[in-house]
């Protein structure tokens, strides 16, 4: 696995973790992020 492939996998995993947190804490629909969680995601990218 190349460095770029590993980074993409880590970003995908992080997005999923943020999504699970957002659905649980902020009650957003699956596949969406609230504004606060979108800010966290953009920072992580």
Q: What is the pLDDT of residues 32-45, one digit of tens each?
A: 999 999 999 999 98
Nearest to 45 by CA among 22, 12, 17: 12
Q: Give dist(CA 42, CA 23) in Å, integer.
A: 17
Cβ(18)–Cβ(33) under 8 Å?
Answer: yes
Residue range 21-30: mean pLDDT, rounded: 96
When divided into structural domains, the chain yields a total of 1
Q: Please report the pLDDT score of residue 38 as a whole number.
A: 97
Q: Which domain holds residue 39?
A: 3-44
pTM for the whole structure: 0.86
Q: Please report the pLDDT score of residue 17 as a whole number.
A: 96
């Amino acid at each position: 696995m190349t460095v770029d492939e590993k980074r993409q996998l880590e970003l995908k995993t992080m997005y999923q973790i943020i999504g699970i947190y957002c659905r649980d804490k902020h009650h957003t629909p699956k596949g969406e992020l609230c504004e606060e969680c979108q800010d966290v995601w953009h920072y992580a990218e």
